[in-house]
A and B are shown apart, each in its own frame.
With several copies, the nearest count.
Chain A
Amino acid sequence: MTRLTLDGLGERLTRRLAGRLSRRSALARLGATVVAAPLLPVLPVARAEAALPSSFTRNAQTKDPTKCDYWRYCAIDGLLCTCCGGAVHTCPPGTQASPTSWVGTCVNPDDGKSYLIAYRDCCGATPCHSKCHCDGTERETPLYRPQGDNDVIWCFGLTTMAYHCSTAALVGLAE
C-alpha cells in the first residue's frame, strides 16, 4: 500500500518520505516480533543431520568467540561484535541490536546437538574496525530465502541501517 500511495506523490516528496514510510510500516509489522523476541525461534530448522558432521562442525571450538571457528559462527557473515566492544549476543556501545535476524543451525561440538542461532546485526554506527571478519556459509541461502541469507544487512526496523558488526544469539535447540 505504502508504495501505491507514494506513486501518487511528487518525486521530491516521494524521496523525502520513502525511507520514513517504509521504515514505519516495517516497524509496525515488526512490533510483534520485537515483543516476542525472547520467545523466538521463528525459523527454518535444518533437516535431520547427516551421520557425518559438517566440515565447519568438525573444526569448531567452543572456547573463543573472537575466532571464526567458534561453533556458533557456522553461518555468520560479517565483523564479530566480540572484537568491537560487544559480546556473543551483545552489541557494542552506541549501536542498536536489530530486532530481525538471519538464522543458522550450528552443532555444539561439546554436546553434539544442533542449535538455532539468530545472527543479529548491530547497526547505527560506522563499521567496526574489527579485524575479526568471518564468513560462515553453512546452509546459507540466497535472497529468495532471506531468513538464511547472511548478505542481507539485518537492520530492519531500526532508525538507521548503517552496519557495525554481527552477533550470534542462541535461540533454541534444533531438535
Chain B
Amino acid sequence: MPRITSQAAIAVLLGLAAAAQAQTPATPVMPEVSDVATLPPAGPHRLWIEDAFSGAAQVIDGDTGALKATIPGASLSSYAAGPDQRMVYVAESIWTLGNRGQRQDMVSVYDGLTLKLQTEIPIPSRAYVASDGQVFALNHEGTRAYVYSMQPASGVVVIDLALHKVLRTVDTPGCALAFPWGSDGFSALCGDGSLATVTTGEKPSVTRSAAFFDAERDPVFEQSPTNGATGRTFFVTYSGAVHPVDLGPTPRFEPSWSLQAAAGLQPAGVENGELAWRPGGYAPMALHRASGRLFVLMHAGEHWTQKKSGEELWMVDTAAHKVLRRLPLKDPCIGVAVSQDDHAQVYLMDEKGNLSIRDAQTLDELRSVEDVGRGIPVSPAL
C-alpha cells in the first residue's frame, strides 16, 4: 500500500497525522518522476556570466541564449574550466559561519556535465578580491592550477589537478597574478613595471625582467589577454599602449604599439584633461587566439577612467597593428568575451545586465538576452 506508507511517512515528518487522515485519497495515475538535468558536452559557444559578489557563474548557451545551469560559488570566487570543460574549478573562500567563524580556502572541483561536487582541494590561502584578472588560472593542458595569494605575503599556490593537491606555494614578492605558460611555468606582473618569470618545479625559480611599463602612471590591465599554449600575451596599458610579450622561460618583449594609432588616431597620453578613446570596463578586452584578433571596449575619456564602460567595441588585428572595425555600442558595456572557434561569437554585457551575442566576423547581433543580471561574460574554453 505505497500510498498508506508515504502518507504515514509524510505525516510523521510533518507531524500532521490528523490532517493527513482527513484527506480524500486521490485517483492514482502515473505521476511524473522528478529528475535532474545534466549538461551536454560543452560546445565552443558555451559562455559563463561570473558575478563576483553574489557568487555563482551562470552557464549560458551562446547559440540560444538560454541559461543551462549555475556553477555554485561563494562570494568573490574565481572560476576556471579544464580541457573541453569536462571539469569545472571554483577557487573560493568560505567562513564556517558565513560572515564569521573559521576561514576555509579551497578549490572546489565539479564534474563538467553533472556539476556534481567531486572534491575540495584545500589551499593555504588566496587573494580575496573582486578582481577579474589572472588570480586563478590553469595551464593550457589543464594539469596545473595557479591561485594568486596575497595573505600575508604575495605568492602563488601551485596545484596539481591530477593529484588534487597543492604542490607548493611560490613566493612572488612585489609581483602578482599568474599568466601560465608551458606545462609548469607562469609569469607575474610586478609593482615596478617588470615581469617575473617563474618555474614551479621542485626548486622554483623566480627571475625578474627590466621594467617594461610605468606601473604607477600607466599600468597594464590585469585582464590583459594571454594564450597559455603559446605564451603569446598582449599587456595593454590604461592609456592603450599594447606590449606584446611571448611569455616563457626567457620572455621575448616586442616594441609596444598604440591602439589609437592602430585606428589612425593620436596615441593617448596620461596627463589630466587629455580626452581620447581609451580601453576600459570590468572585462575590457578579449583575444581570439587563432586569429590574433583583439576585441577591446573603448570609451572617450581622460586618463584614470580605466573602469568606464565601453562606448565602442574595437576589433584589432594584433599582427598588423590595425583596428579593423569600430562598433558603436547602443548601451555602454562593462565586459566583452569571445569564443575560440572558427565561427567565433563575441559576447557583450551592458550596464543594465543585458547580454548581446554577436558574430565575431561581422559583429552583427545574433541574439540578445535581457536582464541576465550583474556579472561579466567569460568564454571558459582553455
Contacts and interface: CB of A to CB of B under 8 A. Distances in A.
Nearest to A46: B216
Interface residues of B, number: 116
Contacts of B203: none
B307 A125 contact: no
A93 B36 contact: yes
A76 to B, nearest CB: 12
B305 interface: yes
Contact of A147 (B10, B70, B102, B131): B10
Given A33-B6, A39-B6, A144-B190, A94 B34 contact: no
Interface string B12-49: 11101001100111111111111111110000000001
Given A18-B123, A93-B38, A169-B34, A143 B100 contact: no
A145 B110 contact: no
B27 A26 contact: no
A151 B165 CA distance: 28
B255 interface: no
B130 A153 contact: yes
Interface string B47-89: 0010101111011000000111111110010000000000000
Nearest to A169: B32
Given A145-B216, A172-B27, A85 B67 contact: yes
A162 B100 contact: yes
Interface in A100-149: 100, 116, 118, 120, 122, 124-131, 135, 137-147, 149
Nearest to A125: B72
A97 interface: yes
Chain B contact residues, majority secondary structure: loop
Contact of A146 (B14, B38, B93, B116): B14
Nearest to B76: A153
A26 B34 contact: no
Contact of B135 (A98, A143, A169): A143
Contact of A3 (B39, B155, B307): B155
B148 interface: yes
Interface in B242-263: none
**B36, B135, B307: most-surrounded residue (chain A CB, <10 A):** B36
A50 B70 contact: no
Interface stretch (B217-225, B311-319, B321-329, B359-367): B217-225
Contact of B34 (A2, A92, A97, A125): A97
B191 A144 contact: yes
Interface in A44-89: 44-45, 47, 49-56, 83-89
A97 B35 CA distance: 7
Contacts of B303: 54
A7 B157 CA distance: 11
Interface bracket on A: 35 or more
Contact of A45 (B24, B129, B174): B24
A32 B34 contact: no
Interface string B367-379: 0001111000000
B124 interface: yes
B115 interface: yes
B19 A147 contact: yes
A145 B20 CA distance: 10
Contact of A140 (B26, B29, B73, B306): B306
B197 to A, nearest CB: 14
Contacts of A100: 10, 13
Contacts of B95: 19, 160, 162
B350 interface: no
A141 B222 CA distance: 9
A172 B28 contact: yes
B150 to A, nearest CB: 6
Nearest to A57: B272
Interface string B112-146: 01111000111111011111010100000000000
Central interface residue in A41, A47, A54, A118, by most chain B CB within 10 Å: A41
Nearest to A160: B100
B10 A137 contact: no
Contact of B73 (A33, A126, A147): A126
16 contacts: A22-B151, A29-B152, A30-B13, A44-B19, A91-B37, A92-B37, A94-B69, A94-B115, A98-B34, A137-B304, A137-B308, A143-B131, A153-B76, A169-B31, A170-B32, A173-B29
Identify the 10 closest CB pairs spanning chains A and B, nearest first: A19-B103, A94-B115, A15-B122, A162-B99, A52-B273, A171-B31, A97-B34, A144-B176, A36-B2, A142-B222
